[in-house]
């Protein structure tokens, strides 16, 4: 737990005041995303049963993404930003259902894959197979593995090797990058 706390403190320090100022006004929009009431999300192409081989990449312009997403979702999904910990209502979501990308609606996680990591971000020990991609991230100097939605390329978060069994992984996700679909 000390390592997670130290990592969280390092992340927040590195992000600086500008990120904090952007994130502090986003609590209401995150609640709307979780409730599925944001108008910009109304045209999501929710896809919970896509076979990895049939997922076609979306290619939208930056302007199209800005029109589609609210400011906080755009910052995280398209600019690889990070929301403040303990601000997402999805952190406490425990109902049966699916967590989908807030950018395009591709299902990324099931409730059964979720666990409470104590970090302040929704965390999962596995993904829906073939629905995320990864790349190396050196933003904090120390290399990390960033993961993103396979369909729209939207940044979701980072994966760490300190999760529970059976995978030992912790997919640490920005809540604003997800929408919840109850079963």
DSSP-derived 3-state class of residue 26: coil
172 noted as active-site residue? yes
CA atoms within 13 Å, Cβ hemisphere of 177:
30
Contact residues for 7 (Cβ-Cβ < 8 A; gap 6+): none
User: Which phi and psi (to 5°) does residue 147 adopt?
Assistant: -125, 155
Q: Which of 101, 149, 152, 172 is catalytic?
A: 172
Contact between 77 and 155 under an 8 Å Cβ cutoff? The reply is yes
Distance between CA atoms of residues 120 and 148, nearest Å: 19
**List of E strands, the chain:** 97-101, 107-110, 114-115, 123-124, 132-137, 144-149, 155-160, 170-173, 178-182
Q: How far is residue 38 from each of residues 73, 119, 161, measured CA to CA in Å?
A: 11, 26, 34
Catalytic sites, residue numbers: 172
């Amino acid at each position: 737990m000390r390592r997670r706390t130290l990592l969280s403190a390092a992340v927040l320090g590195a992000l600086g005041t500008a990120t904090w100022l952007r994130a502090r006004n986003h609590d209401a929009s995150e609640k709307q995303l979780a409730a599925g009431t944001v108008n910009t999300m109304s045209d999501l192409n929710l896809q919970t049963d896509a076979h990895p081989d049939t997922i076609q990449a979306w290619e939208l312009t930056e302007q199209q993404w800005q029109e589609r997403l609210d400011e906080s979702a755009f910052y995280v999904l398209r600019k690889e930003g990070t929301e403040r910990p303990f601000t997402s209502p999805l952190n406490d979501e425990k109902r049966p259902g699916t967590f989908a990308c807030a950018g395009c609606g591709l299902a990324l996680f099931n409730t059964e894959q979720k666990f409470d990591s104590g970090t302040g971000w929704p965390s999962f020990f596995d993904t829906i197979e073939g629905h995320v991609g990864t790349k190396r991230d050196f933003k904090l100097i120390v290399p990390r593995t960033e993961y993103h939605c396979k369909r729209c390329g939207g940044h979701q978060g980072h994966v760490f090797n300190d999760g529970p069994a059976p995978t030992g992984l912790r997919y640490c996700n920005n809540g604003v990058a997800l929408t919840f679909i109850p079963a």
